[in-house]
Structure 1
Amino acid sequence: MPQIWFRPYVWMDYRLTLLFALIIPLILLIWAFVQQSEGIHRLLMIYWRVASLLAITAYLMIGGMAVSFISGLIARFLIPISLWFWVDLNDEIEYQPNSLLKFVFTSWRWAMTLYCALGIIGFAPFVGCGFSGNALKTPYCSVWLEAPLMFKDYFHHNSKPALLGFLGIIALIVYVAYLSYFVMIKLGKKGRSATQ
Structure 2
Amino acid sequence: MDETWLRPLVWMDYRLAVLFTVIVPVILLIWALVRQADAILRLLIIYWRVSSLLMITVYLAIATWSCPFSYITGLVARILIPISLWFWVDLNDEIRDLPQSFLKLVLTSWRWAVTIYSSLGAIASLPFLSCAFSGGEYAVNTPFCRVWLEAPWGYKEWFHPNASPGFLGFLGMVGLIIYTLYFAYFLLIRLGKQGRSALEQ
Return the TM-score normalized by structure 2. 0.95
Aligned position for 1:42 = 42
Whether 2:146 is the aligned partner of 1:142: answer yes
Equivalence for 1:89: 91
State the partner residue of 2:168: 164
Question: Does structure 2 conserve the Cα–Cα contact (< 8 Å) formed by 1:4 and 1:139?
Answer: no
Q: How many residues align?
A: 195
User: Aligned letter for 2:196?
Assistant: R
Q: Is the Cα–Cα contact under 8 Å of residues 3 and 144 in structure 2 kept in the other structure?
A: no
Q: Read off the aligned partner of 1:94 and give its amino acid letter.
A: R
Match of 1:185 in 2: 189
CA deviation profile, 1:55-106 (whole Å, cap 9, x unmatched): 0000000113201100000000000000000000000000010000000000
**1:16 — aligned with what?**
16
- CA-CA distance at 1:153 after TM superposition: 0.3
Q: Distance in 1 between matches of 2:197 and 2:12?
A: 36
Q: Give the corresponding residue for 1:120.
A: 122
Equivalent AA in structure 1 for residue 138 of structure 2: A
What is the aligned partner in structure 1 of residue 103 from structure 2? 101
Poorly superposed stretches of 4+, deviation over 6 Å:
none
CA distance in 2, matches of 1:91, 1:71: 30
Deviation at residue 121 of structure 1 after TM alignment: 1.3
List per-residue Cα deviations over 1:95-149 (Å, max 9, x = no partner): 0100000000000000000000110111111011111214302011011000000
Return the alpha-carbon distance in structure 2 between the equivalents of residues 86 and 132 of structure 1: 37
Task: Identify unmatched segments of 5+ residues in structure 2.
Answer: none
Corresponding position of 2:159 = 155
How big is the shift at 1:3? Answer: 4.7
- Higher mean alpha-carbon deviation, 155-164 vs 133-142, is at 133-142
